[in-house]
Every structure is written in C-alpha cells, then in structure tokens.
A and B are shown apart, each in its own frame.
Chain A
Amino acid sequence: MTYEDHIPVNVITGFLGSGKTTLLQRLLDDPGMADTAVLINEFGEIGLDHHLLQRVDEQTVLLKSGCLCCTIRGDLSDAMRDLYGRRERGEIPRFRRLVIETTGLADPAPIIYTLMAEDVIRHHFRLGNVITTVDAVNGRAQLRRHGESLKQAAMADRLVITKTDLASERKTASLRAKLKALNPSAPLLEAATDPISAEALLTRDVYDPKSKSAEVARWIDAEAFAAPGGHAHDVNRHGDGISAFCLTFDEPLDWTAFGVWLTMLLQCHGQDVLRVKGLLNVLGADAPVAVHGVQHIVHPPVHLDAWPDADRRSRLVFIVQGLNPEDIEASLLAFNGLANSVAA
C-alpha cells in the first residue's frame, strides 16, 4: 500500500465560535462525504447527525525532549486506532475519509504530528489538508491577540471566512487582506456565498493523484506572491513578526544538500517555520518533486509526473515567524554549492 492509498484525514480548525461545527454540518450533507468518519473535540449546540461520530477529549502527551509542536495527542491517537480497529473488524462501515474537528484553542501542529509519527496511525492514515474557519466579526482581533488563531490560519490549506452576514463589508475586506497576506497560497472562501462542498474544501490534496499537480501549482502561484522585481518576494511582514514569502532558485537543487539543509533548518528553527512548501527542480530528475512541512514535521515528498507550467525554477514558499528571507535563501544556496564541491 502506498502513502497515497492511506485514509486521508482532514483537520477542521478555527478559533472559538468561528463556525467550525456549522461548516462541518454543511459538509456532511454533501453526497461526496459519504463514507466519512468524524472525530470531534466538543459537541456543540448544533446537532451533528452522522453515523460515524466520536468524541475525543483533548489530552496532549509531551514527549521527553520534545517541543510543543511535536506532541502525540494521546486522545486522538487512541480514538483513531479504535476507529480503525472497528473498521477492520467490520463493526462500523469501511469509512474512506476521516475529518477531525479541533477545539477552538487547538494548535494544529500536534494533530499533524500525531498523524505522521504515531507508529500505527502513520501506516493507515495520511494528512489530507487543514481547513481553518475565521469569523468575519471577530477574526482580526483574534488573529491579533491569540497566537493559536494566527497559527491556525498560517497552517491552513483552505481558509473559510464565516459570519460575513454579520460583519460590515469593510471589516470582511480587511480580514480578507490580512489572511491573504498571512497565507497567500491558501484558497480563501466565504461560507455565506461560496460553494461549500467536499470537493472544494476536502478532497483535493497533494497526495491525490488527480489533484496533486493543481494543488502544487496553487502553492507556488506567482500572483499570490507578486511583487515588482526582486528574487525573494516577501509579501508581508506583519506586526506579529510573521512573514510569507516565495524563494525561487534558477539552478537545479541537489536533493541530498536540500535534505541536509532543511533537516538542519527545521531542527534549529522549526518552531518559527509555520509552513514550508514548494516545488523543486532536482538535479538529475526530469520531473519535479513537491515538498511540504509544518514546523518540525516534513511530509513524504511527492513526485509529480510533469511540471505544472513552463517555469522550471525551484520555488519554495515559507510562512515564518521572525526569520529573514535573505538568510534562508543564502543558507540554501551555500548548502547547494557545497554539493557541487563535494561532487567535484
């Protein structure tokens, strides 16, 4: 069984009261969500009618020497193992997708880490994507005041603005601008007006053979990072120290050098690398390789069949806190140059 065949897991997160359960309820009505199991932290006031609904209590287990983002969520791991065991024993239908709704204060990183690191789970499940809801009325203030909210938005693969009917157009526009600057490559939907479907939000991801090329193309969408001139496009330096930028490299990158470099970078600065994703022109390879990670966690690289466009440069998108794009670029170039000197 390849990684692509593992059961995809979608994480729906968002700050307290941002409409996660309402969004989930709408998604579960979609016929595309048949055969989906749901794990939920809190049963809200809105009833969810689903035959595979289970509650998990949030407990995190901090591993020895571990940092905060590298924790196994014990509750989540138990619930997922239990769910998978019941599926295999035929006690519940053979669900083909799992959706996890987090608490409003949850940091998504330990959930992602649990999927990647827990020995049983990582053989049966894989991360699909992270969907973050942001409330149009209170979203900006929450992003400003609460680190959890900021991380939830920065780590998202899809952003959904909710409650736009309760907010002024100016407020919604201001939130859109903030989210676009924070996470330029995540598609931004409005729950009140945009179609909320399983396809739009959940099923297209980088490990899905049908959609992986389009997903990667979206990551490196030049327009999202457009800035006149320059090699590294730093679209925004926020007051919170977070910046999103795209680095491009004209020369092919040596895979070994890249691996040594990124492993070292994330070991030292993983807590400040909220997202890294990109498309690499690997020396000696005909087709590109997509890489993506969250903090200290790097997902298995994805080999694409072909380049999404005529641009053959390597492009790496970062969302970081307090790190300088020029330093990151200079460092990767130095490591890559080292590969040439080693090979020589």
Chain B
Amino acid sequence: MCGLCGVLSPREHWTDGGQAGEGPNGRSVAETRRRERANQVRLANKVLAHYGLTLADWQGSSFVLSNRTGASEIIGHFGALWPSAARMAKRPCDPLDAALIAGLESAP
C-alpha cells in the first residue's frame, strides 16, 4: 500500500485539513466536510471522465469508483483513488499528461 492510500485503515487524509472548520458563514465542521466531500467527488469526476471512470460518494464514508462496463471498486479513502483509477483505466493517471490538461482546459 502506498503513502497516499489508506484502504485497509480508513483515516483522515491530508486533503481533509485544508479548509478551516466553523467559519463566519456559520457552517459546522461536519457541514464543511460534507460540502468538501461533495466537491471532491464533482471535481474528481471531471478528471476521471478522461479515463472513462466515475466516482460516487458512498454513505459519506467511502467512495465507489466505476468504469463503463459496470465494474466497480470501493475506495475507502480519497488518497486511494488514483491507484485504483490507474488500475481500472489500465494506464497511468498522470496530471502532467498534455492531453489531459488540454481536455480539462476545454471542459465546460
């Protein structure tokens, strides 16, 4: 298991700690996390579309990654997303790939 993974022992990921908790908008920490999680899924899906994959939240505790043939995999932790995505896509998920960058730049 790699440094960004935590499937066997789900735990907080570093990306969970970037947003401040309860802010002036009065949102609770739980609400901030829920919104952050929904944003993660929406944004990751924009990238995953390039690989023919989709991500869905699963009860606020895990994610489900699926491909177009219906195969799916439970992702226990956001940090474990990319190794699984690369496996399902059968190619590296490289954010420096010029084709991916061009695709993201032209995304609606």
A residues sitting closer than 8 Å to B (CB atoms) are 63-67, 69-70, 113, 116-117, 119, 255-261, 263-270, 280, 282, 285, 289, 291, 293, 295-301, 303, 323-324, 327-328, 330-331, 334-335, 337-339, 341-342
Contacts and interface: CB of A to CB of B under 8 A. Distances in A.
Given A65-B2, A335-B104, A339-B43, A258 B18 contact: yes
A181 B16 CA distance: 33
A342 to B, nearest CB: 5
Given A256-B36, A298-B14, A66 B2 contact: yes
B81 interface: yes
A282 B43 CA distance: 16
A339 to B, nearest CB: 6
Interface in B26-56: 36, 39-40, 42-44, 46-47
A66 B1 contact: yes
Given A63-B1, A323-B96, A338 B47 contact: yes
A23 B83 CA distance: 41
Contacts of A324: 96
A191 B82 CA distance: 44
28 contacts: A63-B1, A64-B1, A70-B1, A256-B40, A258-B18, A260-B40, A260-B44, A261-B95, A263-B81, A264-B95, A267-B83, A268-B86, A280-B18, A282-B18, A285-B19, A291-B18, A296-B4, A301-B18, A324-B96, A327-B96, A331-B95, A334-B105, A335-B43, A337-B104, A338-B43, A338-B107, A339-B43, A341-B108
A342 B98 CA distance: 21
Nearest to B1: A63
B79 interface: yes
A117 B92 CA distance: 24
Nearest to A344: B108
A11 B6 CA distance: 25
Which 4 residue pairs across A and B have the least CB separation, nearest first? A296-B3, A259-B15, A267-B82, A255-B18
B101 to A, nearest CB: 5
A268 B104 contact: no
A268 B93 contact: yes
B3 A297 contact: yes
B19 to A, nearest CB: 6
Most buried by B among A268, A270, A303: A268
Contacts of B14: 259, 291, 293, 298-301
